[in-house]
Structure 1
Amino acid sequence: MEVVIAPAEELARLAADAIEKLVRSKPDAVLGLATGSSPLKVYDELARRHTEDGLSFAAARAFMLDEYVGLPADHPERYRNVIEKEIASRVDFAPGAVQGPDGLADDLPTACAAYEQAIVEAGGVDLQILGIGTDGHIAFNEPGSSLASRTRIKTLTQQTREDNARFFEDDIDKVPHHCLTQGLATIMSARHLVLLATGKGKAEAVHQLTEGAVSALWPATIMQMHPHATVLVDDAAASRLQLAGYYRQTFASKPDWQGL
């Protein structure tokens, strides 16, 4: 696992660099897209590169991590609409190239199985963007999630609903109780994981992710078992890291050609 500590704007540039390098070398790459605050600067940078530098996603595909269950199709916080607003409509993904779990399906288990199969049929995810919750969840794999889990329905914790209430007019009663989410094993099947975290509120989760024991209590710790995982954090999110000095030293001496 590589840990990079830098200002938020630099983190976004590094993540965008990795995505651009992938898409330019493999135009039909499969990307994994996350919602939440963490990837927004990355999406801004990718949209800028598309507009100013001709970075094209026309042949690429993308899969979303998760979706709320039961939100109307036109709800602004339905994750399919959030992804459309934040990145898909700002670049040139082909119609239908961005897919997400169907939180309005009549048969949710069948919809989850179909989503898993769609990822497999696409050849798997080349690069997965991730954020992390204050309780250590990635996607909506809440504490206690099976480390071998696949796409399924999950009940959101009170902490997650409180954290997400800011997107629902600060009214927790408007936050759904259930979601569909890629499982931890699904996420671990991606070839490169790139997680971004900023702010002191994420410091304990980042500490557990990188330096704690692998445990279902902190689901993101499964990333320690991945052969190509990158963790991009700012100073505040890195404030609990015991090896912060080593991480800085390692990145500062890294060859320019290596990338993330």
Structure 2
Amino acid sequence: MEVVIAPAEELAVLAADAIEALLRRRADTVLGLATGSSPLKVYDELARRHAEEGLSFAEARGFMLDEYVGLDADHPERYRNVIATEIAERVAWPAERVQGPDGLAADLPAACAAYEEAIRAAGGVDLQILGIGTDGHIAFNEPGSSLASRTRIKTLTKQTREDNARFFDGDVDRVPTHCLTQGLGTIMDARHLVLLATGRHKAEAVHQLVEGPVSALWPATVMQLHPHATVLVDEAAASRLQLADYYRQTYASKPSWQGL
């Protein structure tokens, strides 16, 4: 696991560099897309490169991490709409090439199985963007999630619903209680995991992710078992890391050709 500590703007550039390198090398790259605040600066940087430098997403595929269950198709916080607004429409990404689990399906387990099959049929995810919750969840894999889990329906914790109430005018009662989410096993199948976290409120989760024991209590710790995992954090999010100086030294000594 590589840990990079830098200002948020620099972290976004590093993540965008990794995505651009994939797209320039292979136009049909498969990207894993996260919602929430963590990837927004990355999406801003990718939109800039599309507008100013011609970075194309026309042949790429995108798979979302998760989706709320039961939100109306036109609800602004339905994650399919959030992804369209934050990245897909800004880079002229054809809508049919960006998929998410169907939170309005009549048969939710079947929808989850179909989503797993769609990811497999696309050849798997090349680079998965991730954020992390204050309780250590990635996607909507709440504490207690199986480290081998696949796409499924989950009940959101009180903490997650309170954290996400800011997207629902501060009203936690408007936050759905259930979601569909890629499982930890599904996420671990991606060839490169890139997690971004900023702010002191993420510090404990980042500490557990990087330096704690692998445990379902902190689901993101499963990333320690991945052969190519990158953790991009600002100084505030890194404030609990015991080996922060070592991570800084390692990154400063990294060959310029290596990339993430």
Does 2:131 align with 1:107? no
Q: Which amino acid aligns with 1:86?
A: E
Contact 2:15 2:42 in 1 (8 A): yes
Structure 2 equivalent of residue 17 of structure 1: 17
Structure 1 window deviating more from structure 2 (148-157 vs 92-101): it is 92-101
Q: CA deviation at 1:94?
A: 2.1
**Cα distance in 1 for residues equivalent to 2:14 and 2:53:** 16
Q: How does 1:78-93 map to 2 (within 5 A)?
A: 78-93=78-93
**Cα distance in 2 for residues equivalent to 1:183 and 1:47:** 28
Structure 1 equivalent of residue 202 of structure 2: 202
Q: How does 1:67-216 map to 2 (within 5 A)?
A: 67-216=67-216
Structure 2 equivalent of residue 223 of structure 1: 223
**Cα distance in 1 for residues equivalent to 2:95 and 2:80:** 13
Listed as ranges, the gaps of 5+ residues in structure 2 are none
Q: CA deviation at 1:73?
A: 0.3
Q: CA deviation at 1:245?
A: 0.1
Q: CA deviation at 1:97?
A: 0.3
Q: Which amino acid aligns with 2:245?
A: G
Structure 1 window deviating more from structure 2 (25-34 vs 86-95): it is 86-95
Q: Which amino acid aligns with 2:132?
A: I
Output one character per residue of 1:20-46: Cα deviation in whole Å (capped at 9) or x when no partner.
001100110000000000000000000
Output one character per residue of 1:189-234: Cα deviation in whole Å (capped at 9) or x when no partner.
0000000000000000000000000000000000000000000000
**Cα distance in 1 for residues equivalent to 2:234 and 2:94:** 34
**Cα distance in 2 for residues equivalent to 1:40 and 1:196:** 10
**Cα distance in 2 for residues equivalent to 1:214 and 1:40:** 28
Contact 2:29 2:126 in 1 (8 A): yes
Structure 1 equivalent of residue 42 of structure 2: 42
Q: Please give the secondary structure, in 1, of the residue aligned with 2:128.
A: strand
Output one character per residue of 1:39-98: Cα deviation in whole Å (capped at 9) or x when no partner.
000000000000000100111000000000000000000000000000000002223000
Q: Please give the secondary structure, in 2, of the residue aligned with 1:150.
A: coil
Q: Which amino acid aligns with 2:23?
A: V
**Cα distance in 1 for residues equivalent to 2:22 and 2:246:** 28
**Cα distance in 2 for residues equivalent to 1:95 and 1:13:** 25
**Cα distance in 2 for residues equivalent to 1:256 and 1:170:** 44
Moved over 2 A (4+): none
Percent identity, aligned pairs only, is: 83
Q: Which amino acid aligns with 2:2?
A: E
**Cα distance in 2 for residues equivalent to 1:199 and 1:95:** 32
Structure 2 equivalent of residue 252 of structure 1: 252
Q: Please give the secondary structure, in 1, of the residue aligned with 2:52.
A: helix
The alignment's TM-score, normalised by the length of structure 2, stands at 1.00
Q: Which amino acid aligns with 2:116?
A: E
Q: Please give the secondary structure, in 1, of the residue aligned with 2:170.
A: coil
State the superposition RMSD in angstroms. Answer: 0.4
Q: Please give the secondary structure, in 2, of the residue aligned with 1:96.
A: helix
**Cα distance in 1 for residues equivalent to 2:178 and 2:94:** 30
Structure 1 equivalent of residue 238 of structure 2: 238
Q: Which amino acid aligns with 2:224?
A: Q
